[in-house]
Amino acid sequence: MMSRRGFLGSSAILAGAGAVSGRVEAAAIPEAPSMDRPAMQPPLRPASGPDYQPVVTLNGWSLPWRQNGDWKEFHLVAEPVVREMAPGMKAHLWGYNGQSPGPTIEAVEGDKVRIFVTNKLPEHTTVHWHGMLLPNGMDGVGGLTQPHIRPGKTFVYEFELKKSGTFMYHPHADEMVQMAMGMMGFFVVHPRDPAFMRVDRDFVFLIQSYDIDPGSYVPKVMTMTDFNLWAWNSRVFPGIDPLVIRKGDRVRVRMGNLTMTNHPIHMHGYDFKVTCTDGGWVPESARWPEVSVDVPVGAMRAFEFDAVNEGDWAIHCHKSHHTMNAMGHDVKTFIGVDKKDLGRAVRRLVPDYMPMGSAGMAEMGEMEMPMPDNTLPMMTGFGQFGPIEMGGMFSVVKVREGLSANDYADPGPYKHPPGTVAREVAPAAAGSPQRQVQPVSARVPTAEFDVVKPGSKRPASHRH
């Protein structure tokens, strides 16, 4: 049994539980640990039962459990939460146990799990166990497979984990609102055989989107397409943790997509193989090398690679607007427009006005312009060579030699070996490009063909 105090520390907040519906009504309910810190917590290693490599949740944590006879018992609390999306901005969301997304649940194939869910939201809810094979009455669809969990009530879900793999949990009650407000979490089921699909580091994150107006705190739940914050685990760059990896490790990255569009996740410096979906493990013969994996809506993907190349390698969604923050969809394009005269005229009325956008938007990455409270710049973040000019779904895979097996601390910028960084050269050193021009006769081929005129017995020969 994990030590709740040792794992969460002195900042833990215990949530109470109400009445339980079901056949375990008289049983004691486990305490519900809570976490409000956005920093990634150490992996929760098993203290008993089959061995497994625990996952590391980007900017998150795994939910402790207790053993009660044959059952592993967990306690989720659905409640309003405040989530720091990046330094300088917080969002008022709904989540579980103090955070959005909720804590990752980890268990082992064949385990019998009992999950208590207490509702502290202002409306009813349920929990659907996305991708799980379980009894119909445990599937979590409000009104169809179970009564709704009313505010202040606690329900219990009980089922056996039939297969290992990568799964999610989220509501199936007022789903449009509750998922738009951040209610979701990861559910990882480890193989019963500790040697099967073993890796050295196993990272997980959920892909989310929000529409939060500059200066405000609550997502606009009616938005269908025009989102302005693209997040991993309700964090945006530069607030997303790096994936810190020891050189030589076998690494797995698991992703779940609960946004309204697909996301091609691209990692620099490596190729990898997709090894798992929410349908199960991909057989060895069906895997293929890739550098980007498209994660469809409502789906999970996991890929693996051997960390052989040291460096600070970018990982991001390859939809370019998804690596931006708080984008204004009505901003006009001024590339190529001379705004000098306009700037002088406007400054007579607004002395601090600065015309921007005539040469692209990169200048925004270096500027610290005043913004409304609780708003992030569209492009932000700095590296050792200057502004990174990113936001949203962007992080860094940091591969280093000499790390300990359990070291996930940020090692800082990569120290490049001499001569391995792109650098400026003088124009003379680059030389002048040579252009070869062929004569027209050499570029246009000659062809012979026959044309038969109507009523003619012999073809006329033509040369072209």
Q: What is the pLDDT of residues 65-117, one digit of tens each?
A: 999 999 999 999 999 999 999 999 999 999 999 999 999 999 999 999 999 99
pLDDT at 14 over 60: no
CB 12 within 8 A of CB 36: no
By DSSP bridging, strand 272-277 and strand 229-232 are unpaired
What is the per-residue pLDDT across 22-32, written as a single tens digit (0 to 9) for each? 555 545 899 99
Count of other CB atoms within 10 angstroms of residue 270: 19
Please name the residue that has the structure tokens 């309204």. 260
pLDDT at 173 over 90: yes
Same domain membership, residue 246 and residue 102: yes
Same domain membership, residue 344 and residue 271: no
By DSSP bridging, strand 243-246 and strand 394-400 are parallel
Residue 144 is given by DSSP the state: T
For residue 383, the surrounding DSSP H or E stretch is: strand 380-383
Q: Would you say residue 430 lies in a domain? A: no
Q: Would you say residue 387 lies in a domain? A: no
Q: Mean pLDDT, to the nearest integer, of 437-441?
A: 62
Say which CATH number the domain at 93 has.
2.60.40.420
Longest dimension (CA), the chain: 105
What is the per-residue pLDDT across 360-369, written as a single tens digit (0 to 9) for each? 455 554 555 5
| Confidence grade of residue 6 (pLDDT, cut at 50, 70, 90) | very low
Domain count, the chain: 2
Same domain membership, residue 361 and residue 214: no
Same domain membership, residue 239 and residue 359: no
Count of other CB atoms within 10 angstroms of residue 177: 15
pLDDT at 449 over 70: no
Q: Would you say residue 424 lies in a domain? A: no
For residue 179, the surrounding DSSP H or E stretch is: helix 175-180
Same domain membership, residue 87 and residue 36: yes
β-partners of residue 254 are 204, 302
Same domain membership, residue 335 and residue 205: no
Compute CA distances 15 → 42, 155, 458, whole Å.
22, 15, 99
Given this model, what pLDDT does residue 336 score?
63
| Confidence grade of residue 328 (pLDDT, cut at 50, 70, 90) | low
CA-based nearest residue to 158, from 22, 279, 67: 22
Same domain membership, residue 247 and residue 364: no
Separation between Cα atoms, residue 202 and residue 249, nearest integer Å = 10
Given this model, what pLDDT does residue 426 score?
86
Separation between Cα atoms, residue 118 and residue 155, nearest integer Å = 7
Same domain membership, residue 231 and residue 145: yes
Backbone phi and psi for residue 312, each to the nearest 5 degrees, phi listed first: -110, 100
pTM: 0.81
Q: Would you say residue 417 lies in a domain? A: no
Q: Mean pLDDT, to the nearest integer, of 150-155?
A: 97
- The tokens for 203 are 């990272």
Same domain membership, residue 155 and residue 260: yes
Q: Would you say residue 298 lies in a domain? A: yes
Q: Which of 234-243, 304-313, 372-381 has the least mean pLDDT?
A: 372-381
Higher pLDDT, 179 or 372: 179
| Confidence grade of residue 4 (pLDDT, cut at 50, 70, 90) | very low
Q: Would you say residue 442 lies in a domain? A: no
Same domain membership, residue 340 and residue 305: no
Same domain membership, residue 331 and residue 304: no
CA-based nearest residue to 364, from 349, 352, 381, 347: 381
Backbone phi and psi for residue 362, each to the nearest 5 degrees, phi listed first: -60, -30
223, burial (CB in 10 Å: exposed 0-12, middle 13-18, buried 19+):
middle
- Domain end point (choices 314, 340, 366): 314
pLDDT at 353 over 90: no
| Confidence grade of residue 325 (pLDDT, cut at 50, 70, 90) | confident
- Domain end point (choices 306, 339, 374): 374
Given this model, what pLDDT does residue 326 score?
74
Q: Would you say residue 294 lies in a domain? A: yes
- The tokens for 108 are 């082992």
| Confidence grade of residue 459 (pLDDT, cut at 50, 70, 90) | low
Given this model, what pLDDT does residue 403 score?
97
Given this model, what pLDDT does residue 437 score?
66
Coil, strand or helix at 363: helix
Q: Mean pLDDT, to the nearest integer, of 186-190?
A: 97
Same domain membership, residue 334 and residue 210: no
Q: Mean pLDDT, to the nearest integer, of 210-233?
A: 92
Q: Would you say residue 145 lies in a domain? A: yes
- The tokens for 105 are 């649940």
Q: Mean pLDDT, to the nearest integer, of 381-388?
A: 88
Range of the domain at 267: 4-314
Query: Hey, which bits of 34-191 come out as E strands?
Result: 56-57, 66-68, 71-86, 89-96, 105-108, 112-119, 128-130, 154-160, 165-170, 185-190
